Amino acid sequence: MRVIVVGAGVLGTMHAWQAVERGHEVVHLERETEARGASVRNFGLVWVSGRAAGPELDTALRARELWEEIGARVPGLGFRPNGSLTLARTAAELAVAEAAFKLPDAAARGYRLLDAAEVRALNPALRGDYLAGLHCARDAAVEPRVAQPALRAALEATGRYAFLPGREVRDLVGDRAVRDDHGQLHEGDLVLLCTGAWLGGLVRELAPELPVRRVRLQMMQTDPLGETLTTSVADGDSFRYYPAFAGPELDALRAGQPQPPVAAEHRMQLLMVQRRDGGLTVGDTHEYDQPFGFDVVEDPYDHLAAVARDLLGRPLPPVRRRWAGVYAQCTDPGLVVHRQRLTDGAWLVTGPGGRGMTCSPAIAETTADAAGL
């Protein structure tokens, strides 16, 4: 078959990967010269630990297997099974971690509950102040700024993949073709629209009642830390944002331990991942009300730097860059992604939210099965 994939973020690239893996030819269109959205403006986390029990966790676990398989074949992804530590600094946060450790699927998530000494033995860079850590061995990381180019290089080596950047798709023509803004018609046996946070234009015309919203975040990256951060790191505020931790202990945390005003205003958690050059990617915030601001705000960065300092027991290295990004999030909490069949030969796949980097390989696999690839 000839498959037309629109959108070269991680979701679109993984759909292209699935099609080529199954023996098909792919024409891959991207409106930018390179993907510039959430697929490169994220932590590179393969984050199993906080996923909701059921289909979401199943998808994340399958994606984790696929990331490892693909990472072995494409070293440029920078895949590493480094796991994560979510650090509890208060009794209320520790109670949430203890409840998570007792979940029926704790073993599938790779949970261990470690005291402070065990945390430091696992990750010696964490010399700060905390009571315990929830370790998730199934979490992993990749390098988001180079993942898509590395995947494309591997796809191009098959001889059955063509990447056409700088092509904005304007029309879905018939059931199985698209026309780009150069006037060129791309015909195939299947069209897969993986357009990320681009929800206007053609996407609005094809799916005017799309149950997807846009979410804005702020992040930053530092100079090299000078030592190895052996796991990804989250603070106790992360418990508030992931469905796996819902329960009476989290309710008690929210009622008895309000977030600092700046963290509450920007819906913040600390996530921290070390890049291959030793720098740290640190974030993040969540903004849902549009229109989004066009500037970045300093207070969240100050808060994140202070929390990171408390956990590391040392100041962060100098900040090298700051950025904002926008991703698309399905508003149905029961769905991992919005997948819609537009015609007999065209599908729209969007809205994985903050799960895009984690779940994209398994989302693409499911689409390929549903579309008969």
pLDDT number for residue 153: 97
Nearest Cα neighbor of 176 from 290, 346, 51 is 346
| Same domain, yes or no: 185 and 233 | no
State residue 333's pLDDT score. 86
Q: What is the pLDDT of residue 59?
A: 97
Q: Please check whether residue 283 lies inside any domain of the structure.
A: yes
pLDDT at 247: 97
Q: What is the CATH number of the domain that holds 44?
A: 3.50.50.60
Tokens coding 129 = 């102040």
Q: 269: domain range?
A: 124-129+212-330
pLDDT at position 280: 98
Residue 58, domain member (yes or no): yes
Residue that the structure tokens 């740290």 belong to = 280
Which residues are within 8 A (CB) of 314 and not within 5 positions of it... i.e. 6 or more apart?
127, 128
The DSSP letter of residue 244 is G
Per-residue pLDDT tens digits for 315-346: 999 999 999 999 999 999 889 999 999 999 99
Q: What are phi and psi of 360, to 5 degrees?
A: -55, -40
SS3 358: helix
- Sign, CA torsion 325/37/278/322: negative
Residues 300 and 267 in one domain: yes
* Inside any domain, residue 87: no
Residues 228 and 318 in one domain: yes
Per-residue confidence (pLDDT) for residue 38, from 0 to 100: 87
Indicate whether 169 and 246 sit together in one domain. no
Low-confidence ranges of the chain (pLDDT < 70): none
CA angle, 281 as apex, 215 and 39 as ends, to 5°? Answer: 45
In a domain, 88, yes or no: no
pLDDT of the residue at 319: 97
Give domain status of residue 178, yes or no: yes
